[in-house]
Structure 1
Amino acid sequence: MKVTNLDERIHVLDSESNVMTVIKNIAMSGLQEEAFYVLDIGDIVQKHKIWKEKLPRVEPYYAVKCNDNLIVIEVLAALGINFDCASKNEINKVLSFGVESSRIIFANPAKPASHIRHAAAVGVDTMTVDNESELHKIKKLFPTAKIVLRIRCDAEMAQCPLGMKFGCDPIHEAPNLLHLAYNLGLNIVGFSFHVGSGCQDPPVFYRAIHHCKILFDMATDLGFKPYLLDLGGGYPGNKGTSIDKIAEIINKALDEYFNTDAVHVIAEPGRFYVASAFTLATSIHSKRSIRGDENSNAITHNMYYINDGVYGSFNCLLYDHQHVTPIPLKNGCGKMIPSSVWGPTCDGLDKIVENIMLNDMELGEWMIFENMGAYTLPVASPFNGFPIPKVHIVADEDIWLLLKDALPLTEDHFVIGNTPANLRLGLDIGGNDIDPWRDTHPMELAPPEILTDTSNTPSHFIFEYVEAPLN
C-alpha cells in the first residue's frame, strides 16, 4: 500500500531527536491545541527482538483488537509477525496489506455465521472453538476448517479476566467436545488458552500447558493429528515491565510437555507489542480551583480539564482497568497541590485521575501520558464532538534502514526530517487536512530537502484573516 498523505508517513528523526522532543516541538508550536499521540515504531521493533530472545519457540500472532492502527499492522507484517483476528473486518484489514491468509488465526470462539463464511471465502481456515453449538455451526458452514479447541485456565491476577466468557473446562467439557468433533468429522488441529489480558500470575501458563498436553494425547488417541499449541495473550507491555518470568515458565513447560518440533507453538500478544510505543499529549483547556472555608482563601484542590477523556483514549480506564499517571510537560515549582484530571465531555463519569499531587498548572499547559498504546484508540469515540487524537509516527535512522524495504513497507512510507515543520505540514490544529480540494486535486509533496527546513518562514497552509473594506 502506497502512502500518499505526508502526515501518514513515518518521520525519520535525527540523532538529537526522540519522542519527547517531538512532543515538545508540536505542543509548544502555538499551532497545536488538540490532544495527539506520538508513535515510536522503534519501540515495537525492540519488543519483537525481546520476544524472539525470550520465547524463541513461540511464534507471535498479534492481537489486532489491541490496536488496529494501520502503520502498526504494516510494521508488524514487515517484521514477519502473524495476526490474531476476531472478526471479518479485522481479517480484511490485515489481508489488505498483502498478508497471506495462512498467517491469520480467527481466534474468536463465538463467531457470527457470516464471519465464518467470509473466513472460508478468503482462506482463513484456522479458528478457535469452545462449545458444542460452534462445532455444529462450523460443520454446516466450513467443515474443512482447522479447529483449535480453547480451554479455560484463568490467572489468579489479570488486568482483564476472560475465562467467564470464553474457554471450556479442560477436564470435563474438552473431552466431550473432542468426541463431538470426531463424530461430526471435523478436524481438531490443536488447543489454545488465554489466561487473561495483562497476566500477573506467571505460573498459570505452566498449568495451562500441562492441561493442553493431556488433551493432545487424548486427541491423538481418538485419531486426530494435533500439531498446534496456542498460548494466547496476557503478556505485559508497559515501560518497566518484563516478560522474563512468564517466558521462563513457558520455556520450562514446553521443554517438559512439548519437547518436539512436531508441535507448532504460537501466542497472541497484544499489549506487549504496542502499549509503550504510544505516548499521548493532552493540554489543559479549563481549570477549577477549590478553596478553603471563608476563614482561608488557600487552594485545597485543583480540577484540570484536558482535551481527551474516558470517551476517547482513556476508555482504557473503564474497559481495560488501566491506571494512568499525568506527567507535566513543563517542570513545575512550588508546593504540590491535591489535584484531579477530567476529560472534556459534559459527563461526570469523564474522570481520568481522581487524586494526584501536582504543582500548580495553568491553562494551555500540557500533560503527557505514557503507555497508551493498548486498548485505547480502537475503542475511542468522538462523543460530545471532541475529536479522536491524531497519531504522529516517528522512527530513528536505524529503524528506517531496517524497514524501508521490508514489504508491505516501502521507502514511500518514510519521510526524512524533524519536527515541528513537517509533522504539521497540511494540518490544522485539530489534525485534519485543511485543504478542501486535496481529494479532487492532489498536490505534489514537497521534497525532503524542503521538509527539513526548520526556518521561521511561515507555512503556506497558515492563513491570516483580514477584513476587507466594502466598496
Structure 2
Amino acid sequence: MKVTNLDERIHVLDSESNAMTVVRNIAMSGLQEEAFYVLDVGDIVQKHQIWEKKLPRVKPYYAVKCNDNLIVIEVLAALGVGFDCASKNEINKVLSLGVDSSRIIFANPAKPASHIRHAAAMRVDTMTADNESELYKIKKLFPTAKVVLRIRCDAETAQCPLGMKFGCDPIHEAPNLLHLAYTLNLNVVGFSFHVGSGCQDPPIYYSAIHHCKILFDMATNLGFKPYLLDLGGGYPGDKDTSIDKIAEIINKALDEFFNTDAVHVIAEPGRFYVASAFTLATNIHSKRSVRGDENSSNTVTHNMYYINDGVYGSFNCLLYDHQHVTPIPLENGCGKMIPSSIWGPTCDGLDKVVENIMLHDMELGDWIIFENMGAYTLPVASSFNGFPIPKVHVVANENIWLSLKDVLPLTEDHFIIGNTPANLRLGLDIGGNDIDPWRNADPIMGLTSSEILTDTPNNPSHFIYDFIEPPLN
C-alpha cells in the first residue's frame, strides 16, 4: 500500500536527533504557530517489546478507539498485533491495510444491527456480548459467530470505569446467558472482562481470571468448547508507569487457572501502546496578567496563558478520559515562580487546560510541551470555533526503520530518508512542497517557506516595495 501524502510518512532521523529535538526544531523555527504533535514510532515498538517480555502468553489486540492514527495501526499491524474494533468503520480501517479478519475481535457488547451484518460480510466472526438481547440479535443476524461473554469485574481504582455500562455479573447473570446461548445453539468460545481503563488495582486481574475459569468449566459441562480468554484493557502507558505488577498477577493467575496451551489468551491494550508515543507542542498566543489589589496594583498575582489547543481539541482527554496533564515550558525560565493557569483557544469558559500551576513568567510566542498525549486525544478532537486539530509529525530512528521498512503493511514508501529535520521544521513534505495551504508567505521578507529552504540569499523578492511619502498636513 502506497500512501501519496508524503508528509504523513515516517521521517527517519539521524543519530543526533530524537523526538524532542524535532519538537524543538519545529517550535523554534519561527515558521510554526499552530499546535502540533510528534509521534515517536520507536516508543510504540519499545512498548511492544515490553509487552512480549512481561506477558509472553498474552496476545495483544490493540484497542483502535484509543488512537486510530493510520501510522499507529500500520506499525502495530507490522508488529503482528491484533485489533479490538468497536464499529464497522474501525473494522474497515484495519481491514483496508490487509490485516486478516482473524486478527480482529469485535469487542463492543452492544452493537447496532447493521454493524453485526457488516462484520458477518467481512468475516469478522469473533464478537462479545453481555446481555440476552445481544445474544438474540447475534442469533438472527450472524448465527455462526464466535461469541465471547463479557463479565463485570471492576477495579477499585481506574482512570475510566466501564462496569456501569458493560459486563454481566459473573455469578448470576453469566450462567443464565450461557444456558440461553446453548438453547439458541450459539457458539460460545470464551469469556472476557475489562477492569477499567488506566487500572491502578492489579489484584483485580486475579479475581477476574478466577471468575473466567469457573465459567470455562461451566461452559464445558454444557457442551461448549471454550478456548478464548480475553483480559481486556486497562494497562497504563504513560512514561512514568509500569505494567510489571499487573503482569506479575496475570501470569500467576494464568499459571494457576489456565496452565494449558489449549486456551488462547488475548488482551485489549490501548493507552499502553500509544500514550507516551505522542508529544504535543502548544504555543502561547495570548496572555492576561491579573494584578493585586489597590494596595499593590502593580504586582502580578496570577498569569493566564491562552494556548492554541484546548479541551475541544487534544485536551478533551481532561473531560472524557479523566487525564491529568503536566505543562512543560520548552525554554527554562528564570526568576520567581508565579501562580498560573492555562486556557484553550475557544470562546468557551470551560476551555481550561490547567487550573493552577506555578510557572516562571512566560511571553507570547513561547511554547509549552505536553507529554503522554497519545491516548484518547486525537480521535475525539474537534475543530470547534474553527481552530484546527494539531498535525502529527511521525519520526523514527534508523534502527526502527531497518526493522520495519519491509514488514507489511509497511514498505519503504512509508519512510522518508534524508534531510528530514529541515522539512519537518518548515512543515514541508520531502519534495519541499508546502502542505499547509493556509500558511502565508513571510509578510516582511516576501519569501515562501520553500524559498527559505533554498540557500539563495541574493534572490530578489517576489514583491516590489515602493516608498510613498505621506502628504503633509
| TM-score normalised according to structure 2 size | 0.92
Counterpart position of 2:395: 394
Counterpart position of 1:55: 55
Counterpart position of 2:356: 355
Counterpart position of 2:344: 343
Q: Partners in 2 of 1:465 and 1:64 — Cα distance?
A: 49
> Could you tell me whether the CA contact under 8 Å between 2:139 and 2:184 is conserved in 1?
yes
> Could you tell me whether the CA contact under 8 Å between 2:11 and 2:396 is conserved in 1?
yes
- Gapped runs of 5+ residues in structure 2? 440-449, 468-473
Counterpart position of 1:314: 315
The 5-angstrom pairing of residues 411-422 of structure 1 reads: 411-422=412-423
Q: Partners in 2 of 1:128 and 1:79 — Cα distance?
A: 25
The 5-angstrom pairing of residues 94-243 of structure 1 reads: 94-243=94-243
> Could you tell me whether the CA contact under 8 Å between 2:12 and 2:420 is conserved in 1?
no
CA displacement at 1:454 relative to structure 2: 7.3
State the Cα deviation string for residues 85-124 of structure 1 (Å, max 9, x = none). Answer: 0000000000000000000000000000000000000000
1:93 paired with 2:67, answer no
Q: Over aligned residues, Cα RMSD in angstroms?
A: 1.9
Counterpart position of 1:370: 371
Q: Partners in 1 of 2:94 and 2:360 — Cα distance?
A: 45
Q: Partners in 2 of 1:139 and 1:61 — Cα distance?
A: 25
Counterpart position of 1:448: none
SS at match of 2:61: strand
Counterpart position of 1:442: none
> Could you tell me whether the CA contact under 8 Å between 1:12 and 1:418 is conserved in 2?
no
Letter in 2 for 1:356: I
CA displacement at 1:372 relative to structure 2: 0.1
Letter in 2 for 1:47: K
Q: 1:212 to 1:31 in 2, by over 3 A?
A: same
Letter in 2 for 1:68: D
CA displacement at 1:417 relative to structure 2: 3.0
Letter in 1 for 2:23: I
Letter in 2 for 1:282: T
> Could you tell me whether the CA contact under 8 Å between 2:64 and 2:90 is conserved in 1?
yes
Q: Partners in 2 of 1:126 and 1:204 — Cα distance?
A: 25
1:36 paired with 2:39, answer no
Q: Partners in 1 of 2:438 and 2:412 — Cα distance?
A: 25
Counterpart position of 1:434: 437
TM superposition outliers: structure 1 runs of 4+ over 4 Å:
453-458, 463-469
| TM-score normalised according to structure 1 size | 0.92
SS at match of 1:61: strand
CA displacement at 1:426 relative to structure 2: 3.9
Q: Partners in 2 of 1:235 and 1:333 — Cα distance?
A: 38
Q: 1:272 to 1:177 in 2, by over 3 A?
A: same
CA displacement at 1:399 relative to structure 2: 0.1
Letter in 2 for 1:114: S
CA displacement at 1:420 relative to structure 2: 3.9
> How many equivalent pairs are there?
448
Q: 1:158 to 1:455 in 2, by over 3 A?
A: same
Q: Partners in 1 of 2:435 and 2:427 — Cα distance?
A: 11
> Could you tell me whether the CA contact under 8 Å between 1:426 and 1:435 is conserved in 2?
no
Q: Partners in 1 of 2:23 and 2:105 — Cα distance?
A: 37
Q: 1:230 to 1:26 in 2, by over 3 A?
A: same
SS at match of 1:295: helix
State the Cα deviation string for residues 401-450 of structure 1 (Å, max 9, x = none). Answer: 000000000000001134542223547xxx954399xxxxxxxxxxxxxx
Letter in 1 for 2:389: I
The 5-angstrom pairing of residues 285-324 of structure 1 reads: 285-296=285-296, 297-324=298-325
Letter in 2 for 1:434: P
Q: 1:136 to 1:468 in 2, by over 3 A?
A: farther
Q: Partners in 2 of 1:362 and 1:435 — Cα distance?
A: 25
> Could you tell me whether the CA contact under 8 Å between 1:316 and 1:322 is conserved in 2?
yes
Letter in 2 for 1:61: Y
Q: Partners in 2 of 1:20 and 1:349 — Cα distance?
A: 30
SS at match of 2:392: strand
- Gapped runs of 5+ residues in structure 1? 437-450
Q: Partners in 1 of 2:421 and 2:331 — Cα distance?
A: 18
Counterpart position of 2:380: 379
CA displacement at 1:456 relative to structure 2: 4.7
Identity across matched positions, percent: 85
CA displacement at 1:308 relative to structure 2: 0.1
State the Cα deviation string for residues 452-471 of structure 1 (Å, max 9, x = none). Answer: x977558x9xx9665799xx
Q: Partners in 2 of 1:161 and 1:309 — Cα distance?
A: 24
